[in-house]
Chain A
């Protein structure tokens, strides 16, 4: 766990502190104290976002377990804390106490590194989401051009950790899981990016904040319903939740790439999955539903409402749909989603040329 926090802090540091250039501060004659103040603000912001992502994950896992129990006619967690709300924290304590088993045939270094590669980009993605404004306070941790590109870039890195974990385990089932994860990753990455490009064409900016402000009157889901469907399906595919949970598939591959993982290493994979779910729900809300734009309530409330709707839809697909086969999944990705996303790119380019002033 120490290594985990160490890595987290280093990566946060690279993204955040590179922005505050020490030498320019000194050369321009600003006092060093100002730089220190900036640094403290940056650290506090980053810790707040980290806490926020963790709290989101905890809430999602609780809601998921209750929801799934409801659908399966069970009660769900109800012993630890009021209505079982503290169940996840108890689970985390249990996972920390468990023995950390590493198979003798496994590749030890790669085996240890893999969960962090899954988890770190997910939490890094949270600092790039525009959380909107509470009266005058603008809740955006980093704001520069190309934030949406960075968000998607972090989301493409996460599956690499799954592949490395599956390969390092030296186990037939894990190898199958890794292979499927790679195939699925490549199959859904391209349509997702192309449908994102059409949004960027419409908004005329790579900045997530400007993409949100471009949807002040008409959210992008209306001119780009095709792109929304492609992006949404690709997001479900990238999270590898049912019906596209082929890398894990509990009943045939014994949870695929994470078969050999136990204890807190498995816990990090688990939290990374749910964090990815929250992140992708927020990204869909920002890109297609207008993020924090909305009447009456402050922006952050709107973003959370929109994100929560998508999280519920993801959970609903999880508990209600069966698993597709791997060939059906790849067919969906390459034969249907890719042409649809290219068609959508052409349509949105036409819209941008003829009705460019609307957005």
Chain B
């Protein structure tokens, strides 16, 4: 139960940070933490398939796509 609360609080905090951070790269990093946190919650609830798919699809593929779009966005290029 304690582990569940720790994971959920971390998930909520990283979600809030991902939404509020101005820097796009940092907000993507927080999103990565959020996704892995949620995978940890699924793992804790013993739903291993969903947990594995969460890591595989979200942390592996979606984050890559988001990073690619961050790379191409004007906001990020202006910061240079």
B63 close to A (CB within 8 Å): yes
Please, what's the 1-or-0 string for B42-60, where 1 marks a CB less than 8 Å from any CB in chain A?
0110001101110110011
| B49 and A206 contacting across the interface, CB-CB below 8 Å | yes
| A160 and B43 contacting across the interface, CB-CB below 8 Å | no
With A157-B59, A160-B59 known to touch, is A175 a contact of B25 (CB < 8 Å)?
A: no
Categorize the interface residue count of chain A. Answer: 35 or more
Contact of A153 among B3, B28, B29, B60 (CB under 8 A): B60
Nearest B residue to A144 via CB reads B48
Residues of B with C-beta under 8 A to A109: 26, 29
| B29 and A149 contacting across the interface, CB-CB below 8 Å | no
B68 close to A (CB within 8 Å): yes
A167 close to B (CB within 8 Å): yes
CA distance A189 to B60 in the complex (A): 9
A150 close to B (CB within 8 Å): yes
Residues of A with C-beta under 8 A to B44: 18
CA distance A146 to B64 in the complex (A): 23
B78 close to A (CB within 8 Å): no
| B29 and A185 contacting across the interface, CB-CB below 8 Å | no
**Mostly helix, strand, loop or mixed at chain B's interface?**
helix
Which residues of chain B (15-46) have a CB below 8 Å from chain A? 23, 25-26, 28-29, 32, 40, 43-44
- A residues apposed to B, CB below 8 Å: 14-15, 17-18, 22-23, 105, 107, 109-110, 113, 117, 144-146, 149-150, 152-154, 156-157, 159-160, 163-164, 167-168, 170, 175, 178-179, 182, 185-186, 189, 193, 206
Can you list 21 A-B contacts (CB < 8 A)? A18-B3, A107-B26, A113-B29, A145-B48, A150-B48, A150-B52, A153-B52, A153-B56, A156-B61, A157-B55, A159-B64, A163-B71, A164-B67, A167-B67, A170-B80, A179-B68, A185-B64, A186-B65, A189-B60, A189-B61, A206-B49
Known: A153-B56, A168-B25, A185-B64. 18 other contacts (CB 8 A): A109-B29, A110-B29, A150-B51, A150-B55, A153-B53, A153-B59, A153-B60, A156-B55, A157-B60, A160-B59, A160-B67, A163-B64, A163-B67, A170-B80, A179-B68, A182-B64, A182-B68, A193-B56
- B residues apposed to A, CB below 8 Å: 1-3, 23, 25-26, 28-29, 32, 40, 43-44, 48-49, 51-53, 55-56, 59-61, 63-65, 67-68, 70-71, 76, 80
